[in-house]
Amino acid sequence: MIDTLLSYDFAWKPYSIEQSLATDKTHIFRISVDNHFQKIKRKLAEVLSEREQEKASRMFIQKDKERYAVSKFCLRTILGLCLNTEPSAIDFVFHEHKKPTVRGIEFNISHTGDYVLIAISPKTVGIDVEYLNKEFDFKSILDITFSKMEIDFIGNKDVDPTNFYVMWTRKEALLKASGEGVSDNLHLIDCLGEYLERNKQVFKMRTFMIEDNYVASIATNLDQRELLFWNWSGE
């Protein structure tokens, strides 16, 4: 039985907007909401679409509003760098399951707590990050969410919940990469392997901690062997 899936070795490097981005590689950007919102709040109207600004304005919880604004602002900025265009000019097309796409590059985004993760890739990609909430009663949903082997991996008696979030983020990342979104049959999707097949595609899975109490997983095309990890400052 697999002892751990948190074995991916990497290092976060600082990213400056003066650096060029190799568009044939997969990049992961880590963004702190608390550190970034104050830097961009005066520029939001210049970058976000009217629809995005309206959605942010309808959010009652300030932290949710800041997280959403930072995620959209940084996504547009990063895509603008990749596509050599103004962030405000990025035109998103929404496909089945409301998955947004842009012409010329693949991307995926996830956010929780203080962090936003953005993955940029030349091929289909899915990413998910979750805050490791040790108070969450995950045992009540094990049977409807995971296979028997996954439940054995997670454990269901007085165990550290890390393995639950490992498996949850892997399922989310895989389904986002395949374009399916949330599934009613999560227990039928076994995510213990390194290589997983969905919708006639094979994805390589990697799971890692982005900081204490934050677990993330990414599903990439097989030829994306090297992942580049960046701390985004926006400067």
- The label of the residue with tokens 């990063």 reads 78
**Does the pLDDT at position 76 exceed 50?**
yes
**Does the pLDDT at position 170 exceed 60?**
yes
Share of the chain above pLDDT 90, in %: 62
Contacts of residue 64, defined as CB under 8 A and 6 or more positions apart, other chains included, come to none
- The label of the residue with tokens 């929780």 reads 112
Instruction: Report d(CA 99, CA 61) in Å as an integer.
Output: 24
Average pLDDT, the chain: 89
| Rounded alpha-carbon distances, angstroms, from residue 157 to 137, 139, 174 | 12, 8, 27
Q: Using alpha carbons, select from 122, 110, 26 the residue that is nearest to residue 74.
A: 110
Backbone torsion region of residue 213, taken as left when φ is above 0, otherwise alpha when ψ lies between -120 and 50, otherwise beta: left
Backbone torsion region of residue 104, taken as left when φ is above 0, otherwise alpha when ψ lies between -120 and 50, otherwise beta: left
According to CATH, the topology of domain 13-232 is: Ribosomal Protein L22; Chain A (3.90.470)
- The label of the residue with tokens 């949330």 reads 182
pLDDT at 157: 66
Q: What is the rounded average pLDDT of the residues 43-51?
A: 95
Q: What angle do CA 97, 68, 175 make, to 5 degrees?
A: 30
Q: How many CB atoms lie within 10 A of CB 97?
A: 12
Instruction: Report d(CA 192, CA 2) in Å as an integer.
Output: 8
pLDDT at 219: 96
Q: Which amino acid appears at position 178 of this protein?
A: S
Instruction: Report d(CA 182, CA 160) in Å as an integer.
Output: 25
pLDDT at 185: 81
- Report the predicted TM-score, pTM, of the whole model to 2 decimal places: 0.93
Q: What is the rounded average pLDDT of the residues 213-221?
A: 95
- Segments making up each domain of the chain, as ranges: 13-232
